[in-house]
Amino acid sequence: MEGEKWVLMVTAKTPTNIAVIKYWGKRDETLILPINDSISVTLDPNHLCTTTTVSVSPSFPHDRMWLNAKEISLQGGRFQSCLREIRARAQDVEDEKKGIKIKKEDWQKLHLHIASYNNFPTAAGLASSAAGLACLVFSLAKLMNLKEDNSQLSAIARQGSGSACRSLYGGFVKWTMGKEENGSDSLAVQLADEKHWDELVIIIAVVCAQQKETSSTSGMRDTVETSALIKHRAKEVVPKRIVQMEEAIQNRDFSSFARLACTDSNQFHAVCLDTYPPIFYMNDTSHRIISCVEKWNRAEGTPQVAYTFDAGPNAVMIARNRKTAALLLQRLLYNFPPQSDTALDSYIIGDKSILGDAGIKDIKDVEALPPPPEIKDNMPTQKSKGDVSYFICTRPGGGPVVMSDETLALLDPLTGLPK
Amino acid sequence: MEGEKWVLMVTAKTPTNIAVIKYWGKRDETLILPINDSISVTLDPNHLCTTTTVSVSPSFPHDRMWLNAKEISLQGGRFQSCLREIRARAQDVEDEKKGIKIKKEDWQKLHLHIASYNNFPTAAGLASSAAGLACLVFSLAKLMNLKEDNSQLSAIARQGSGSACRSLYGGFVKWTMGKEENGSDSLAVQLADEKHWDELVIIIAVVCAQQKETSSTSGMRDTVETSALIKHRAKEVVPKRIVQMEEAIQNRDFSSFARLACTDSNQFHAVCLDTYPPIFYMNDTSHRIISCVEKWNRAEGTPQVAYTFDAGPNAVMIARNRKTAALLLQRLLYNFPPQSDTALDSYIIGDKSILGDAGIKDIKDVEALPPPPEIKDNMPTQKSKGDVSYFICTRPGGGPVVMSDETLALLDPLTGLPK
């Protein structure tokens, strides 16, 4: 193969996910084995996803990777774990059209070029690493013709980024913590696909943060080491909630789903606060969003919207259905209108059709929004412009897919370099 | 006695206190019996206290009370519990000079006038009800010549406001939760008086709050009913911390004291967050104060300052000694300078001499403060004017005292009405 010039490549698209029963704390730092099960909802890749092109060529002198068009190092232990695990499972590959044959033992010598792109801001606290590592593993598995199914692949993605394992499926996904020391049974299983409960609508508030955040890796290590409550959470509280959440999803029982998602998000942030030194991921804006949702839910007597927050101040809100989502968007825009120099079109992104359902065409409609009835008797609400950067409207979505349209590849099919 | 015109009165001054192992959660709502022991530091009554004058006269047609010169109702169950318990223990009283004789059975028929005054803003989250109820019970006990000691009186004050029982002593005080169903053994004991550890200096940041706070009464009820972590805290975590905190106080071991106070404050706020709906008492300013202290403590390698927050955003910081307190004040003023229209003299209140130790004479000295060394390499700190209303400098202080100087009484000795 030496001296040959061909480039073989695969492009795939992988969703991000949001945990509704949270993963926080590892029992093994290297293998990334968690101290409890977790459950997530996969977000529609049309609005939030990673696209990755992986390519192999005998002309590549070493492995290289580009993220959002900028070359990054592949030397990190987590990338290396994933690459090693996948190469170890590589199979014979034949592309008859291009006249390419790769024997499984060749994969140990061949080098890779990888290009990855997020269709949403990286490091805005939107689980970009989960989608990214899942996409890396999924696309490499396709390139190298692995026989493993997505669940087995999830155990590899897990070693790149814990929550990445849950991005191998669409819909509703459980990461079972497993019992084996080598982590072979710590993997994702699909509880239900995205069509099972297709009424749900998701609105994400990307909240402006003033303070630098604690990384989730060091944060969860500190929690496991110092929190007096985390063990009780992992051993006593979460196992019951996992069973209840599986039931709620199975029965499309929104009230139970919302109650579990909200309380588990709050408890995750509670154990962060119980860490020493304490970790604060939510800020005053996050608190105000929670108050807004809680007031409304209480006024309705039954939950309309669930909220959940990851390791940052952004709120992920899950509405019962489209009608509720429109009412939620009205409330959010009433409390958090865009700054005067922000166009509504860039303030509400993703599935903008919910704006229409909410009866909002332009900024004048936002300004004309009446206070929601549940705050009628209270003091005039302080409207905070600039506390939210933008909102993303989306829904539960599907799992990873290979993109057969080669024009969508991020690498040049001749050079294997970023386009 | 009918038709007589005399007025007999007693004036007392009672301190407020700040818990360093927190009380949160009742096992009996009426008797106010807690689910765990707690430990507090009594604050110097020169800076934070309640003064109460209680008076009795055969000419008073019914019980009346004034708080900060405004008449308030005494009909609340908690006031009534305290009055009933004290009247039941009243003894014969004789004032030979005034020629007054009250037999113990007369107390059931005689009515009281009570006037109370806080030398600090009421309802600014500074435990005004603790000092207030303690002072009410203490002064009535003196008026009615009760034989009970302060510990026994604390069990009465407890029924007015839980944390009030800890204000019956100076220095370091433990409220033992007790076992009896009638609450007779749920009372305060002094661990050490204020002279035992007289190096400590306390700085309170009164933080501006945007949101209305959840009352601690309803907040702790909600926590007991809904938090999945509160039982574990009360049964497993707090008992160990109580033993450790008693040791730390006994040995004047500031490192242990600080670590326990900070982690227990954080855990109290963690169980608030684990409540449904979640309760937020700390805000972004509280978080920034914690970060400021934690960064400094970490840089020094050993704790210089402990922090603790009650059911509100105000920070109570306890410094190792005067030198540390001066360094703390520099850091606080660097991060939270007064607004341009606020005089330094009204921004730092209480023991202003610490300003001198910090080398700060006027606002120009505040503006000239260099960034503390521990943040040198970081981004330029955002200075927030207006996030803190003012700082109170104080120290651990003594318990309740009777004020023999009758000119300090809040009621007119002839009419029994507010002066």
CA–CA distance from B177 to each of A27, A257, B162, B244 (Å)? 36, 37, 10, 17
Nearest-by-Cβ selection for B266 from A233, A236, A273: A273
Separation between Cα atoms, residue A252 and residue B24, nearest integer Å:
36
Q: Given strand B315-319, what is the order of strands in its sheet? A: B305-308, B315-319, B201-207, B388-394, B348-350
The per-residue DSSP string of A116-154 comes to: EEESS-TTSSS-HHHHHHHHHHHHHHHHTT----HHHHH
Instruction: Tell me if B229 and A229 make a contact (CB, 8 A cut-off).
Output: yes
Which chain B residues contact residue A275 at CB under 8 A?
A: 266
Average confidence score pLDDT of chain A: 94
Mean of the pLDDT values across residues A199-228?
A: 91
CATH 3.30.43.10 fits B8-194+403-408, yes or no: no
- pLDDT at res. B284: 94
Q: Which fold has domain A201-394?
A: Alpha-Beta Plaits (3.30.70)
Instruction: Tell me if A263 and B382 make a contact (CB, 8 A cut-off).
Output: no
Would you tell me how many other CB atoms lie within 10 Å of the CB of residue B369?
A: 19
Nearest-by-Cβ selection for A267 from B228, B263, B283: B228
Which chain B residues contact residue A284 at CB under 8 A?
A: 210, 283-284
- Nearest-CA distance A378 → chain B (Å): 11
**What does the pLDDT look like over A121-163, one tens digit per residue?**
765 667 778 999 999 999 999 999 999 999 999 999 999 999 9
Nearest-by-Cβ selection for B266 from A233, A267, A274: A274
- pLDDT at res. A193: 98
Nearest-by-Cβ selection for B232 from A211, A232, A276: A232
Separation between Cα atoms, residue A13 and residue A47, nearest integer Å:
12
- Nearest-CA distance B53 → chain A (Å): 37
Separation between Cα atoms, residue A264 and residue A281, nearest integer Å:
15
- pLDDT at res. A381: 59
Separation between Cα atoms, residue B53 and residue A44, nearest integer Å:
68
- pLDDT at res. B243: 98
Which one of B287, B296, B309, B377 would you mutate to disrupt binding with A, by most A Cβ within 10 Å of its Cβ?
A: B287
**What does the pLDDT look like over B356-380, one tens digit per residue?**
999 999 999 999 999 999 986 555 5
Q: Which residue has the tokens 């330094």?
A: B344
- Nearest-CA distance B221 → chain A (Å): 17
Nearest-by-Cβ selection for B229 from A270, A290, A291: A270
Under the phi-then-psi rule, with left for phi > 0, alpha for psi from -120 to 50, and beta for the rest, what region is A233?
A: alpha
Q: Which of B390, B418, B205, B199 is nearest to B307 (CA)?
A: B205
Going by pLDDT thresholds of 50, 70 and 90, the confidence category of residue A211 is low
| Residue in chain B nearest A209 by alpha carbon | B284
Checking if the pLDDT of A1 tops 90, the result is no
List CB contacts of B68: < 8 A, sequence separation 6 or more: B116, B117, B118, B122
DSSP E strand boundaries for A119-257? 172-176, 187-192, 201-207
Going by pLDDT thresholds of 50, 70 and 90, the confidence category of residue A386 is confident
Q: Which of A35, A40, A29 is nearest to A238 (CA)?
A: A35
**What does the pLDDT look like over B230-253, one tens digit per residue?**
999 999 999 999 999 999 999 999
- Nearest-CA distance A287 → chain B (Å): 7
Give the residue extent of every domain in chain A. 8-194+403-408, 201-394
Instruction: Tell me if B284 and A284 make a contact (CB, 8 A cut-off).
Output: yes
Mean of the pLDDT values across residues A194-203?
A: 97
Mean of the pLDDT values across residues A234-260?
A: 98
Regions of chain B short of the pLDDT cut 50 = none
**In this structure, is the dihedral angle defined by the CA atoms of residues B73, B75, B78 and B82, taken in order, positive or negative?**
positive
**What does the pLDDT look like over A98-108, one tens digit per residue?**
899 999 999 99
H helices within B301-413, ranges in order?
A: 322-335, 344-347, 353-357, 363-367
- pLDDT at res. B5: 83
Q: Do A8-194+403-408 and A201-394 agree at the fold level?
A: no
Which chain A residues contact residue B274 at CB under 8 A?
A: 263, 266-267, 270
Largest CA distance in chain B: 78
Which one of A284, A296, A379, A387 would you mutate to disrupt binding with B, by most B Cβ within 10 Å of its Cβ?
A: A284
**What does the pLDDT look like over A68-115, one tens digit per residue?**
999 999 999 999 999 999 999 999 999 998 899 999 999 999 999 999
Separation between Cα atoms, residue B30 and residue B77, nearest integer Å:
8
- pLDDT at res. B106: 94
3-state secondary structure B405-418: CHHHCCECCCCCCE
Checking if the pLDDT of A341 tops 70, the result is yes
- Cα three-residue angle B83-B87-B91, rounded to 5 degrees: 150
Which chain B residues contact residue A277 at CB under 8 A?
A: 262, 290, 294, 298
**What does the pLDDT look like over A31-70, one tens digit per residue?**
999 999 999 999 999 999 999 999 999 999 999 999 999 9
